[in-house]
Amino acid sequence: MKTLNSLIVSFVRMLPKQVVYVFAKKYIAGIKLEDALKAVKGLNSKGIVATMDVLGEAISTRKETEAAKRECISVLEAINKNNLDSNISIKPTQFGLLIDEDFCYEQVKEVIEKAKSFNNFVRIDMEDSSTTESIIKLYKKLHKDYKNVGIVVQAYLMRTLNDVEELNQLGTNYRLCKGIYVEPAEIAYKDRNEIRDNYIDALSLMLENEDYVGIATHDDYLVDEAIKIIKEKKIDKSKFEFQMLFGVKESLRDKINAAGYKVRIYVPFGEQWYAYSVRRLQENPQLAWYIFKSLFTFN
């Protein structure tokens, strides 16, 4: 079945982008900022908060980086102008991490300063393992001067518990997720139960240290285990939130929200929607299978 799923994902990647977009648009807010603002307004009306993300990564020129920075600043200004309950997420490679680390720092710093002026927050996304060390280094440098910044850690990486123990010393604001990038078995767990166990261990370390945690998962088991830990340790609701992706398992989202827990939805948008959508397909081959079946179903 795994081989079949991989073949289907490969097939979908060969389709025209216009075709893929028809199915992918459920999982992205749209192409334009106005599309994302509308999506966030809808979430806020349900008592759900958001983090907005201008899609794009692995930028190769300083000009592209500066354009990405200006776009993120525009998002922050729009959030403030429209009184939305949303922060933003950024990818370091979109800000020139692969060009020059000091240059990247200066670009990200401008965004964080703008967010600070609006009493808002910036989440630094984690990317593939080749950038993990550089991203943690970037976060530590930023955290020295700014407290309105957080980082993401990925439970499928074997190094994560060590990273959490180190980052706990700073009083880090976390997003904890399983991880989506395809990584070698030498550095990443492949077994679902091992990933789950590492996730729970990392979450426990964060909560015991009284750090703020975005519990980012669509796994019912992990949601249940997280709630169990929260209740057992009597963790105040001000110290955590649940996070999910736009358009994914909305019934679980609504269930968590109805139970009185804070829920934040990751709202991606922008011209670079295709690469994001392909990663979602790789993470969730069932979606690719759905696209495949839909293309060959005739009424």
- Predicted TM-score (pTM) of this structure: 0.90
240-299 pLDDT tens trace = 999 999 988 999 999 999 999 999 999 999 988 887 777 666 666 655 555 555 555 444
With a cut of 50, say whether residue 27 has pLDDT above it.
yes
With a cut of 70, say whether residue 113 has pLDDT above it.
yes
Which of 17-21, 143-147, 213-217, 263-267 shows the lowest mean pLDDT across its residues? 17-21
Are 229 and 207 in contact by the 8 Å Cβ rule? The answer is yes
**Catalytic residue, candidates 53, 123, 125, 163:** 125
Please give the average per-residue pLDDT across 226-237, as a whole number. 97
**Catalytic residue, candidates 53, 123, 163, 175:** 175
Please give the average per-residue pLDDT across 114-126, as a whole number. 98
Please give the average per-residue pLDDT across 177-206, as a whole number. 95
DSSP class per residue in 223-256 = HHHHHHHHHHTT--GGGEEEEEETTS-HHHHHHH
Residue-level length of the chain: 299
> Which residue reads 């603002």 in tokens?
37
CB count within 10 Å of CB 257 equals: 17
Whole-number pLDDT of residue 19 = 72
Among the CATH numbers 3.40.1710.10, 3.40.50.450, 3.20.20.220, 1.25.40.10, which is that of 33-269? 3.20.20.220
Is 125 labeled as catalytic in the residue annotation?
yes
Q: Cα 224 vs. chain centroid, distance in angstroms?
A: 20
Which of 34-38, 181-185, 252-256 shows the lowest mean pLDDT across its residues? 181-185
Is 175 labeled as catalytic in the residue annotation?
yes
With a cut of 80, say whether residue 121 has pLDDT above it.
yes
Whole-number pLDDT of residue 8 = 60
Structural domain spans, the chain:
1-28+278-299, 33-269
Give the helix/strand (H/E) hosting 177: strand 174-177
